[in-house]
Structure 1
Amino acid sequence: MSLIHNALSETSPRTLDAFVVLGSIMSEGIPRVSVPVIDRILLHLWEQDHQADHYLVTNEVTRPGISEVCAMHPPNVSRAMRDLMSEGFVSEHMRSIRGEDRRQKTWQLTDDGRSVARQRISNLRSNKVLLRGRDGKLLEIRADEAAEKLETSLSLLQVLMHAQHEGVLNFGDIRFGAIVSSHEKKVPPSSILSGAHSTYHNRPPSTRSFHGRSSEKEELDRWHSSRVPMFVLSGIAGCGKTTLTSHWLNDLLSNVPDTEVMYYPCQPWDTPLGIATSILHRIGIGVEEGKQDPYMVLGALPLKPGARIDIDTYRRRLCAHLLDDAKLVKANCSELLVVLDDVHNIGPEGSHLFGALLQVAETTSLRLILISRTKLAFYDTRDVHTRKRVDELDLSGLSMEEVEDWISTIDLPEETDADKVHSITGGHPLAVELLELYGETLHDDWMRFLDQEILDVLPIESREILSILSVADRPVPWQVLARAASHDGPPPGDLIDRGLMLELEDGMWLHEAIRTRLLRDVGRPLEERLRRLTDASDA
């Protein structure tokens, strides 16, 4: 007795409280949990019943897996399985195991076994277990309520096995896994659109001064007055695609102020899902106050990170919302002009979304303008010339007359020749703008722009083809150019799509601004390229 007294005197007050509480509980009868072997196996196979009849299963339905989960020796598992199979509650199968090279014996419940398991589970759920909650108090509750109190994802079998072997389940036990709070607020559907307003603009951006492009603006006017749903504007970097579109849009908004516009500048990190979400936000689809979604378009957007958008459902429901045949939308826009700038940043992943938006624009009031440095592949030539679904404009440099008119407004030396400026720069607006700022036709910033935005991003083989072509004084047939560059196959798609190499009747040629830049690589590289081109021509 003195030994017990000494031990208790050295024990902390908190431990003494626990002894007192446990003593009072034990005097009243501590809840004892004892799960029979057969019940363990039936409960475990019930929890793994989603793997029934699968070709590939996990280790949980093999003998080692059942032995570990049910706290049984492997021979006892085999013995229990023979008894269950003789009763017709379990069936045995040889199956492939995930992560294993050889097939193993597995077991699953039969229909009779499932009926018996449901009866056993209803009894096991009502078993009382003892646990210490977050506040340190001991609680006696039903087994099926323990996981919620412990804020874990424990299964019923895991709760019962812990209770059987340890008596008390403690909140925060590291063996129970991460704490999963049941009080966390569910994210409302409207959070899908959070921040979407910051990804697009209702008006075009402010750009540099505008010169020329009268014929191009007329093409945009003709497209807008027609019923062709999409306009695609392409051209090399810095040739004025955004500037042209912005000035045309500003003129349109000044003449038709009620025009609804969505200007979306695509960034390298953008995704098709981001574009699709922003379009819904611009249209006014949502669940918060002032928004509406009677056709459940938001249901087509994935709720899990990394999941893909259901393009077909998105297209059909967006069409239904914009058409609104059922008159469910309170305020629908009469026409929305969506401008997607720099869509080349999206890459091939955006083709399905752009194709779906084209279909939406064909049947609704949606109009699309896509701006890209490359040729887009989600439509073909028939859509442009036969089906009249798409209008295209390949934007090149300013014309000789436009460069001359621009230079006439700049205070430059008299010897500055507009013809020479045009031949060197190819009429590239950025080059002329730098000439206006610095008074130099070939400014360092211009050369740096050509390198960083155009040439440095090309594959080495494609750049070498352009370098060889730059030493020629006239178009070169592709057979000759390919022989000089030791290239097999057709012209590289990245050069043709970006408009860096042009297919003319006489052969291949390149943008004058690129040619001027490549000819600055003087010395042995230039001489070697000229020799290779000459040898290929003679051959």
Structure 2
Amino acid sequence: MIQRSKRSKVHSDERILLFLSEFSNKRDLWDVPKEVTQKGISHKLDILENNVSRSLKRLQADNMVEAELKHIKGEKRRQRAYFLTPKGEETIIEVKDRISRMPLTISLEGELHRTNIETAYRKAREYGLNLTMAEVYQIKRNGEEPLMISSDGMIMGEGARIYGHYQLPDHFYGREREKAVIRDFISSNAGVLLIWGLAGMGKTSLILHSLTENRVKGGYICCESWTDRVELTNEISSIIQDMGHFDIAEKLSDEDISPGKLTRTMKDLSTSQKNLIFIIDDLQKTGGGIDIYMEALSKSAMDFPGLKLVLLTRERPQFLDPRYELRGKLKTLELGGLDESAIKQMIREKRVEADPDILMDITKGHPLFIELLMSALDSGPSDRFHEFLDLEVISPLSPRQKRALEISSIMGVPFHRSLLRGIKLEDIDVLKRKGLLREDRYGLLWVHDLIADHLMKGIPPERRGEVKDEVIAYQTAVILRIWGDGPDLCATPVIKDELKPPPEIEKHLVSTYLSIAYEDNPGLRGLLRRYIESLTKRLLDVGSSELAYNLLMLLSETSLRGRGKTLTASMMALERSHLPEKKRLHLILNRASLHSLEGEWHKAGSALDLVEATFPEGLIKGENRARFLHLRGQVSRSRKKFQETIDSHRSAISAYEKISDRAGVAKEKLHLSKALHNIGEFMEAAQIALESATAYNREIDRVGEVYASLQAFRSFAAGGKRMRGRKALERAREIARSIGNQRLLAMIELESILNQESLPTERNISDFSRQVELLEPEDTDIAVKGYLRIASHLEGAPGKENLLLRLRALSSARDLISGGPRREALSRIIQRMGPNKLSEKDLLANWIDLLEQALSMIEPEDRLKDDLMDLARERGFPFIRVRDEDIAGSLMLEICGKQEPLFDMVNESLEDGDARPEDLENLAEEYCHSLLRAGHHFQGKGKRKRARDLYKRCRDVIEIYEKTMVDHPEHVTEWDIRKVKEVVEFNRSQLD
């Protein structure tokens, strides 16, 4: 038996100094904790308030403590708060030193140890117990040894039970994920679990079933509207008596009990009765009347090991600071509907004939609604459930709150608060706390389909029409603003000239709406697609197909690469509506154009086949025929049917000439020139490109003139007419300089490098790099593509110098990618640089990095991600799930084998002064990365010897690199070599 140690002599003044030393970092806060007030010190240190007052006066007189009027968290008026002075900070060092050496007994994982307070304090912190030095000393002072320290949190007891008035559920279905959360809470250091959700979701059944199943001891209290502090403390006292702790229960008999006394009582209980959970149900019924006592209970559960609290409510309580969750003191569980497997289990056990899919669709998994449907199939269960919703959910809401829910139910997608004009922010906050609205970075969103369906049924038709008009206005304004103005989203829409909407749309833009955030919002494209699809469906539902047509035509004709996929599904839905034939033709042609812009050639071809099969020849004439022929030529080019491409573009030129569309003629001649170039007709291609440039010049389209002149240069260079080619190139360069287009200048520099008679030189790469430095961030794809094309152009070139130049070009491309270009730029790189252009083995490592970057930056809902995954599987990339593991391993070894001679060559060149240190660093990093990947792959396949050899080679590469870099102290290595070494040694140790 452990003898209680004698209380050590530490004066009350010193105890107060020790306690206040924990709050020195709170001094500059606007609202400071209650613990630094006179009452707070008295409560925490268990010293009479009069004695605390006298001690504080002495400490102030000695200039060790000073008082400030501060706002106290949870209090209405400012109070005196006490903090240490510099002299007090010096004094406390000596006090802590003396206290830290005092002996203390601890129970560490069930074993008793005799140690000192400092060691006990450090061990407690290591095991997640949030104790201060003052609290550890308080345990010794009160004779409460040993201090219990355990990593297991709550220990489930034998013969445990839940005390209180409740009824265990007769049946329980599903909720495996939620039960796992509760089990995790029981064994964690968290003190409070908040379970919240709609009425009838099964919060009470879940917690009672889980705690009983886990044999946890606790107490259950259900709140009512009349529950006040007296009722609450009486219930707690009754449960404590049932547990046999009559002396502790007696402390709660005072009707004028304070939160501090409740806290001290819970502390006494946690000391006498370990591993105890209190459940407070239906907390929302109290209306916040006992929040100060609930806060005291919550803090007790967080501060006193062995005591936990579960709160069940329909809305998030205000007394729980969200920061508690970040500190691991609070866990939250928002309860949704049952899943389909639970519904199937209910059907089997109740022996009813029902389709689980239909039940899920009707009830959205709401347990109470499911029970009603199954038990009262002949007595209108739906009506009974809607009565329940009215009584429990809708009736307590104010008219403004109901209107906010009505608007959000009709909206159906995230929206900005500005849509709820005339509704106060506090009303929105109430709905959020009740779980009826949710807010994330995309905006507000209604939460439960059942509530939305219920509200929609109750809205009178005339008011429903008004709300729908307002929602249409909001969605239209947001879509046009994002489409036309980019980040400038916080003012009345200022639509660009080319985006000037028709009158049918413009009438909806008289109001000012704030919008969802644009920048730093990676999910915007998927959200924009949902907005467009939702608005199109809404317009079709109300019979406004003309308005939907005008909107989609406006968007499709001003679309940029990457945006087309947000429109095509809505356009196909509109095509199936009752549109006039001419408008339907325009719509399908626009959709085919979007597919071609996004590189979806198969879909573009299908759209054109639909045009040919559906519309008579008489309708496909004039501009429609010219557009159709142009798109047919583009699709044929993608299929490498160059003669069909040439025929289509020649026919398109004739069609544009008939309608006197000179811009169309210029464009088609440029495409025809490219097609002729592809089949080797270089001189004819060059001549037609010059005709295109002249036509663009007449139309004052300087950008088009540059592109046509560049095409003429390519064809003349390929045909051996370099003098004429240089004239065309200079023409393009002069125009680009005159209009100040840096993107075009970079393209011109690249073309001059790739089409010169000799191989690219170091000077060529430097000239291109100077142009790249002037590019805008969104033009990064041009630079990356340029460097990759230069590297490809150097493939197979003999000599060490050409190999180094090729490596330098690849390193430049990699640096641009790792520098974080915008997602749209990466998407364009991926689309343009297909596998046919990057088949060279030396480019493979760079292509892998590029593909990984793109996959990580594209949202899951973006269809481009699926295309990239398919491409990766076709190439057999080992870092993605490949169908054939042997192919993956072989490819890894092939990459490593190709990089090894390059690394050795660059290392020798660096020693000879022919290479730069950064060249070796880039290659060493890539080589080690490949070796680690391969080693990990073969280790997972059980090929231990192969994996061990790869890890050894990685270690050798690092040693060679470090030895070489000794002679280059001026180079600062940015590669994290230490981390690579740790990974290598860890993996090797796993194999030994």
Q: Which TM class, normalised by the smaller chain length?
A: 0.5 to 0.7
- Contact kept? 2:202, 2:367, Cα under 8 Å: yes
| One-letter code aligned to 1:277 | N
Change (3 A) 1:470 1:412: farther
- 1:448 aligned to which of 387, 398, 402: 387
| One-letter code aligned to 1:496 | K
- Contact kept? 2:229, 2:290, Cα under 8 Å: yes
Could you tell me how far 1:506 is from its partner in structure 2? Answer: 4.0
1:515 maps to 2:461? no
Matches of 1:364 and 1:297 in 2, distance apart? Answer: 21
- 2:336 aligned to which of 396, 407, 412: 396
- Contact kept? 2:248, 2:268, Cα under 8 Å: no
| Map of 1:461 onto structure 2 | 400
Mapping 1:17-32, distance limit 5 Å: none
Matches of 1:405 and 1:453 in 2, distance apart? Answer: 27
| Map of 1:161 onto structure 2 | none
Matches of 2:200 and 2:381 in 1, distance apart? Answer: 15
| Map of 2:370 onto structure 1 | 432
So what's the TM-score if we normalise by structure 2?
A: 0.30
Could you tell me how far 1:236 is from its partner in structure 2? Answer: 1.0
Identity of aligned residues (%): 25
| One-letter code aligned to 2:201 | C
**CA deviation map 1:118-171 (0-9, x unaligned):** xxxxxxxxxxxxxxxxxxxxxxxxxxxxxxxxxxxxxxxxxxxxxxxxxxxxxx
Could you tell me how far 1:417 is from its partner in structure 2? Answer: 4.7
| Map of 1:309 onto structure 2 | 257
Tell me, which stretches of 5 or more residues in structure 2 are unaligned?
1-161, 477-508, 510-992
Could you tell me how far 1:536 is from its partner in structure 2? Answer: 3.3
Change (3 A) 1:512 1:208: farther
Q: Give the stretch that moved more between structures: 276-285 or 427-436.
A: 276-285
**CA deviation map 1:231-277 (0-9, x unaligned):** 11111111110111121122123xxxxx4321111111111222123
| One-letter code aligned to 1:449 | F
1:502 maps to 2:422? no
Matches of 1:357 and 1:333 in 2, distance apart? Answer: 16
Matches of 1:394 and 1:410 in 2, distance apart? Answer: 27
| Map of 1:340 onto structure 2 | 280
SS at match of 1:231: strand
SS at match of 1:471: helix
- Contact kept? 2:282, 2:312, Cα under 8 Å: yes
| Map of 1:374 onto structure 2 | 315
Matches of 1:389 and 1:439 in 2, distance apart? Answer: 45
- Contact kept? 1:412, 1:439, Cα under 8 Å: no
Q: Which has the higher contact order (CA 8 A, sep 6+)?
A: 1
Change (3 A) 1:533 1:407: farther
Change (3 A) 1:501 1:419: farther
| Map of 1:327 onto structure 2 | none
- Contact kept? 1:239, 1:397, Cα under 8 Å: yes
Matches of 1:423 and 1:490 in 2, distance apart? Answer: 33
Mapping 1:39-50, distance limit 5 Å: none
Matches of 2:171 and 2:416 in 1, distance apart? Answer: 39
Could you tell me how far 1:358 is from its partner in structure 2? Answer: 2.3
So what's the TM-score if we normalise by structure 1?
A: 0.53
| Map of 1:282 onto structure 2 | 239
**CA deviation map 1:499-539 (0-9, x unaligned):** 11222554322311101111213522322221222233343
- Contact kept? 2:193, 2:332, Cα under 8 Å: yes
Matches of 1:207 and 1:295 in 2, distance apart? Answer: 29
**CA deviation map 1:33-82 (0-9, x unaligned):** xxxxxxxxxxxxxxxxxxxxxxxxxxxxxxxxxxxxxxxxxxxxxxxxxx
Matches of 2:245 and 2:264 in 1, distance apart? Answer: 20
| Map of 2:185 onto structure 1 | 223
1:319 maps to 2:302? no
- 2:429 aligned to which of 466, 489, 493: 493
- Contact kept? 2:165, 2:221, Cα under 8 Å: no
Could you tell me how far 1:214 is from its partner in structure 2? Answer: 0.8
Could you tell me how far 1:293 is from its partner in structure 2? Answer: 2.8
- Contact kept? 1:233, 1:371, Cα under 8 Å: yes
Mapping 1:68-83, distance limit 5 Å: none
Could you tell me how far 1:420 is from its partner in structure 2? Answer: 4.1
Matches of 1:364 and 1:438 in 2, distance apart? Answer: 47
**CA deviation map 1:321-363 (0-9, x unaligned):** 542xxxxxxxx43332211111112232222111211232221
Matches of 1:296 and 1:202 in 2, distance apart? Answer: 18
Matches of 1:320 and 1:445 in 2, distance apart? Answer: 48
- Contact kept? 2:163, 2:239, Cα under 8 Å: no
Matches of 1:429 and 1:446 in 2, distance apart? Answer: 11
| Map of 1:232 onto structure 2 | 194
- Contact kept? 2:404, 2:428, Cα under 8 Å: no
Matches of 2:262 and 2:351 in 1, distance apart? Answer: 55
- 2:224 aligned to which of 256, 260, 267: 267
SS at match of 2:247: coil
| One-letter code aligned to 1:381 | P
- Contact kept? 1:236, 1:499, Cα under 8 Å: yes
| One-letter code aligned to 1:346 | T
Tell me, which stretches of 5 or more residues in structure 1 are unaligned?
1-199, 254-258, 303-307, 324-331
SS at match of 1:215: helix
Change (3 A) 1:373 1:295: closer
Query: Between Structure 1 and Structure 2, how many residues are aligned?
Result: 312
Matches of 1:434 and 1:343 in 2, distance apart? Answer: 25
SS at match of 2:311: strand
| Map of 1:470 onto structure 2 | 409
Could you tell me how far 1:421 is from its partner in structure 2? Answer: 3.1
Change (3 A) 1:291 1:219: closer
Matches of 2:248 and 2:180 in 1, distance apart? Answer: 39
- Contact kept? 1:480, 1:537, Cα under 8 Å: no
- Contact kept? 1:424, 1:516, Cα under 8 Å: no
Matches of 2:432 and 2:269 in 1, distance apart? Answer: 39
Matches of 1:334 and 1:395 in 2, distance apart? Answer: 29
| Map of 2:171 onto structure 1 | 209
Change (3 A) 1:446 1:208: farther
More strand, by proportion: 1
| Map of 1:87 onto structure 2 | none
Matches of 1:410 and 1:532 in 2, distance apart? Answer: 46
- Contact kept? 2:324, 2:330, Cα under 8 Å: yes
Matches of 1:454 and 1:488 in 2, distance apart? Answer: 20
Could you tell me how far 1:296 is from its partner in structure 2? Answer: 6.9
Could you tell me how far 1:203 is from its partner in structure 2? Answer: 7.2
SS at match of 2:290: helix
Matches of 1:227 and 1:530 in 2, distance apart? Answer: 49
- Contact kept? 1:241, 1:371, Cα under 8 Å: yes
Change (3 A) 1:409 1:353: same
Matches of 1:285 and 1:261 in 2, distance apart? Answer: 11
Matches of 2:346 and 2:375 in 1, distance apart? Answer: 13
| One-letter code aligned to 1:348 | G
| Map of 1:77 onto structure 2 | none
Matches of 2:213 and 2:194 in 1, distance apart? Answer: 19
| Map of 1:363 onto structure 2 | 304
- Contact kept? 2:270, 2:304, Cα under 8 Å: no
Matches of 1:411 and 1:294 in 2, distance apart? Answer: 50
Change (3 A) 1:383 1:524: same
Change (3 A) 1:278 1:294: closer
